[in-house]
Structure formats: structure tokens, C-alpha cells
Amino acid sequence: MTILKDLPLEERILRLKKERNAVILVHNYQLGEVQDVADFVGDSLELSQKAAKTEADVIVFCGVHFMAETAAILSPQMTVLLPDRHAGCPMANMITAEQLRRKKKELPDAAVVCYVNSTASVKAESDVCCTSSNALKVVNSIENDEILFVPDQYLGSYIAGQTDKKMHLWPGYCPTHARIHPTHILRLREEYPNAKVAVHPECRPEVIALADEVLSTSGIIRYAGREDVKELIVGTELGIIYRLKKENPGKKFITVTEQAVCPNMKLITLEKVLWSLEEMRMAVKVPEATRLKAKAAVDRMLTLV
């Protein structure tokens, strides 16, 4: 007889996942070992679309808190588990609902667009949500001429450069992407003159200005698959390299800096995925009144994309 605890972790996770009727959703920045047990690996938009559609009873969300919270907003009948309760997103915590309410009073004509990297209570105070892959489309879909964009000033300024809307930007930012500097790109362009440069829109504007493409994490993965892209300088969190290499053997991927690591994303390990399925922890829940208001902002986005 096989003793369960003697089986490899992956095998135990897969067995328990079946027993619990669970799906494992994994963000592109997660550790390779976690990506390998996923039912689906993707960017924030794709993961929220999956969460809205899945018929499982349990979602194990391998990412950061706002991502699991978005799944709980969309699918309250499901148990959404985050395998490490400390896996938060510092940018999402750079604005509170109270701060947003105050700012809205100062800007009564502005519609509020919140980046999905925000808490449920900030989403609940917003008109519409967006992700890195649909922010421009969302902003342009709004009737108001004025937009209050929270919390990412860099994504906001990237969008502001492409729209006629008057954009007010909340001064939040991603500490991981802020570690990427123009000098990193300039140096690598010299070293790899034939390489393309793709960066995430959470990068500083000076970095974005040097890129060939500005894309969400899954956008970068799709771009890397193109025939004409043989070498790619990748301006985002390093976890993405695992999937890039796995899906594109033979191509060269160059990281901009070893500093571009999101410590929160790295808190999720295989052991914690197994533990979360065993103990059914930690369940992410959103109070119903907040959830309904936040869901309206997320649903508005999902009908646009």
C-alpha cells in the first residue's frame, strides 16, 4: 500500500485537488515548481476571467492577495485559498478606500479607474477596474473627460500619453518594477544589439521610453513566441523567465536586473500549496456589501474585454 506522505509533493497535490474539486490558478511570476502544478498560468486579466468561469468548488490562487480577492469578488460561492496569507502587493496597499473617498471629493467630475492591483474596498469606490492589458481600452470607454487613475502612477502615465482624457494619477508604484532603470536597458541594448526589448507598463516612464513593446506579463509571453523575436530583453519580474524558456526552447531571454524580484510572489511554494489544500486555508473573503460594489467595477471591465 502506498503511504500518501511518501508520494512526491506534486502527486499529493494533484490527488487532493481532485478530492476537493479544486483548480490551481497561477500567476506568471510564480516559482517554476508552482507553475508546473497549475491548471492555468496567466496574467491578472486571464486569471480573473478563469476565476469568473470555473465550475470548481475551490480555487487555490497562487499569486498575491488582490488576485485571490478578485476571484472571491467574482465567485463568492467558491472557496478561494491563498497559500500564504503574507503574500500581499505593496502597490495595492498604497491607497486606502478612505484616501480614495477624500480624493473623489476634490475631483467630483472625474471617473475612477482602479488598476486591479488594489484592495476590494478601493475597487468598491471605483467606477471601473482595469489590468495592464486593457487599461487604455477601459480609460477610452469612459464618457467622462476626466479620470482619476489609482494606484499605479507609472501605468497611469503610460496610458495618459495615449489618450485625450485628463488623467489624475495617484502616486503609487510597484517597488519591484521601480528597481528597473534606463541604464539597465541601455547597457543590454549595447551588449545584445539584435535583441528586442519588452517591458511591463509598471516600469518607470524612462524605462518604457526605451522599449520596443510595453505589455502585460502574458502579452510578453505571446510576443516572445513570434517568429521574428529570437532574443528578448525582459523588463519585468524574473519569475516570467521560467515560462518564457519552457515555451520557447532555443530562444534567448535576458533579464534586466537580478533585483527585479517580487518577494511576495515568491512566498508561495509547493509545500504551501499542499498545506492550503489539506487545511483549506487561508480562505479569502470579502464582506458582501463591499463585494457587490467591487464586483460592479470588475464586471464593467470584463464586459469590455
Residue numbers of the site for ligand 13P (CB under 6 A)?
A: 28, 43-44, 117, 131-132, 174, 200, 202, 216-217, 237
Query: Among ligand 13P, ligand SF4, none, what binds residue 35 when CB lies within 5 to 8 Å by partner kind?
Result: none
Residues 6+ apart with CB under 8 A from 77: none
Q: Which stretch binds ligand SF4 (CB under 6 A): 2-10, 88-96, 159-167, 226-234?
A: 88-96
Single residue of 72, 122, 241, 265 touching ligand SF4 by CB under 6 A: 265
Shortest gap between Cβ of 131 and ligand SF4 (angstroms)?
Answer: 11
Q: Is 89 in the site for ligand SF4 (CB under 6 A)?
A: yes
Single residue of 131, 153, 264, 276 touching ligand SF4 by CB under 6 A: 264
Lay out the site mask for ligand SF4 across 270-299 (x = CB under 6 A, - = otherwise): ------------------------------
What is the maximum alpha-carbon separation in the chain?
68
Single residue of 90, 140, 179, 266 touching ligand SF4 by CB under 6 A: 90
Nearest-angstrom CA–CA distance, 71 and 25: 10
Q: What is the DSSP string of 250-293?
A: T-EEEES-TT---TTGGG--HHHHHHHHHHT-PBP---HHHHHH
Q: Which stretch binds ligand SF4 (CB under 6 A): 222-230, 249-257, 262-270, 279-287?
A: 262-270
Query: Among ligand 13P, ligand SF4, none, what binds residue 90 when CB lies within 5 to 8 Å by partner kind?
Result: ligand SF4
Nearest-angstrom CA–CA distance, 30 and 62: 7
For residue 282, is the peptide bond before it cis, meaning its omega torsion is within 30 degrees of 0? yes
| Binding to ligand SF4 in span 151-190, by CB under 6 A | 174-177
Q: Is 217 in the site for ligand SF4 (CB under 6 A)?
A: no
Q: Which is nearer to ligand 13P, 54 or 131 (CB)?
A: 131
For residue 151, is the peptide bond before it cis, meaning its omega torsion is within 30 degrees of 0? yes
Q: Which is nearer to ligand SF4, 151 or 167 (CB)?
A: 151
Secondary structure (3-state) at 244: helix
Q: Which is nearer to ligand 13P, 125 or 202 (CB)?
A: 202
Q: Is 25 in the site for ligand SF4 (CB under 6 A)?
A: no
Shortest gap between Cβ of 63 and ligand SF4 (angstroms)?
Answer: 8
Q: Which is nearer to ligand 13P, 144 or 157 (CB)?
A: 157
Nearest-angstrom CA–CA distance, 156 and 135: 8
Residue 46 CA neighbour count, 13 Å, CB half: 15
Nearest-angstrom CA–CA distance, 194 and 57: 48
Nearest-angstrom CA–CA distance, 70 and 87: 14
Q: Which is nearer to ligand 13P, 79 or 216 (CB)?
A: 216
Q: Encode 146-207 in three state secondary structure.
A: EEEEECEHHHHHHHHCCCCCEEEECCECCCCHHHCCHHHHHHHHHHCCCCEEEECCCCCHHH
Which residues sit at the interface with ligand SF4, rule CB under 6 A? 64, 89-91, 117, 174-177, 202, 237, 262, 264-265
